[in-house]
Amino acid sequence: MSFLVEENAAKRRFEILVDDALGGFAAYTLRGETLVFTHTEVDDRFQGQGVGAALVRGALDQVRARGGRVVAQCPFVASFIERHPEYADLVVDEP
């Protein structure tokens, strides 16, 4: 199984392709340069296969690469960051 995470800026979400099929997405809103992750969804076909974690990891890696910051309103994204503290430096507190 191969994963590819790409940003779909027009839809304000990161999408994960699983063997060329849309496997899920992590939606966000923008607050200046900060991405506020609001919802993550993984297709039922791919539940329990690490797709959600790969999606969030890929999204956060892309945010880091461009020097961005995140707010983890989405419980899945927040839980991922708690389990992977190497991403904690990307998080900003909500105003």
User: Per residue in 31-77, pLDDT tens?
Assistant: 988 999 999 999 999 999 999 999 999 999 999 999 999 999 999 99
**Beta-strand relationship, 34-42 and 69-72:** parallel
Sheet holding 21-31, edge to edge: 3-8, 13-18, 21-31, 34-42, 69-72
Nearest partner of 61 among 95, 26, 94, judged by Cα: 26
Q: Which CATH number fits domain 3-90: 3.40.630.30, 3.30.565.10, 3.40.50.300, 3.30.450.20?
A: 3.40.630.30
CA 43/CA 51 separation, integer angstroms: 9
pLDDT tens digits, 79-92: 999 999 999 999 99
Burial per residue of 4-17, b for 16 or more beta-carbon CB atoms within 10 angstroms, e otherwise = ebebeeeeebbbbe
